[in-house]
Amino acid sequence: MSIQTPCVQVCEIDTALAVCRGCGRTLQEIGNWVRYSPSERLRIMRELPARQAQGTAERK
């Protein structure tokens, strides 16, 4: 059984926001990803588009 992940193989941490620029997860979320339940991973993945949009806006 594979674990769904938002990883896009672009691993670069935005130090101002403390999130990965590729997937939008925090370092804690990345490190704990395999321990999260499927529902917790889904909740986080639903939050990622807003995080990434915020990061894009702040870098402009």
pLDDT in tens, 10-49: 999 988 888 899 999 999 999 999 999 999 999 999 999 9
Would you say residue 52 lies in a domain? yes
34-41, long-range: CB < 8 A, 24+ apart: 34/3, 38/4, 41/3, 41/4, 41/5
What is the domain extent for residue 21? 13-59
Would you say residue 1 lies in a domain? no
Would you say residue 7 lies in a domain? no
Would you say residue 2 lies in a domain? no
**pLDDT tier, 60 (very low <50, low <70, confident <90, very high otherwise):** low
- Please give the model's pTM, rounded to 2 decimal places: 0.83
Cβ–Cβ contacts within 10 Å for residue 23, how many? 21
Would you say residue 6 lies in a domain? no
Count H helices, E strands: the chain? 2, 2
Number of domains in the chain: 1
Cβ–Cβ contacts within 10 Å for residue 20, how many? 24
